Amino acid sequence: MANFRVHPQQSVEGKGPGIDCIDIVNMLGDYLDGDLSPETAHRCQHHFSECSYCRRLFEEYCTTISVASELRDIPPPADVRTRLRSRLLEHLRSGSQK
């Protein structure tokens, strides 16, 4: 298992202004559902503005969703979040195991 810098039990709400990629991974579902508090959602957006990797994954997700909604024949890509999340986790693992 990778050792992330952020303690999983540490709430994002109590943290400083910045959040890490692992926070994005943990909150991705809630963020996409709009279930985060406005402040926390704002922190996510701030992270996207600073982290090109998370931003790219997020943009890719949005593109996939919009393409899927245009092509009504295919079902909503319910597994996209799971793939997004696992890809981000892979990225974090490879980055922390140098």
Map residues 50-69 to x or -, x wherever contact with Zn ion holds by CB under 5 A: -x--x---------------
Cα distances (Å, whole numbers) of residue 85 to 14, 49, 56:
23, 18, 13
Nearest approach, Cβ of residue 62 and Zn ion (Å): 16
Question: Alpha-carbon dihedral of residues 23, 48, 83, 77, nearest 10 degrees?
Answer: 120
Question: Does residue 28 touch Zn ion according to CB under 5 A?
Answer: no
Map residues 8-27 to x or -, x wherever contact with Zn ion holds by CB under 5 A: -------------x------
Cα–Cα distance for residue pair 23/43, rounded to 1 Å: 10
42 versus 74: smaller Cβ distance to Zn ion: 42
Query: Which residues, in sequence order, are CB contacts of 35 under 8 Å at separation 6+?
Result: 29
Nearest approach, Cβ of residue 42 and Zn ion (Å): 15
Residues that bind Zn ion (CB under 5 A): 21, 51, 54
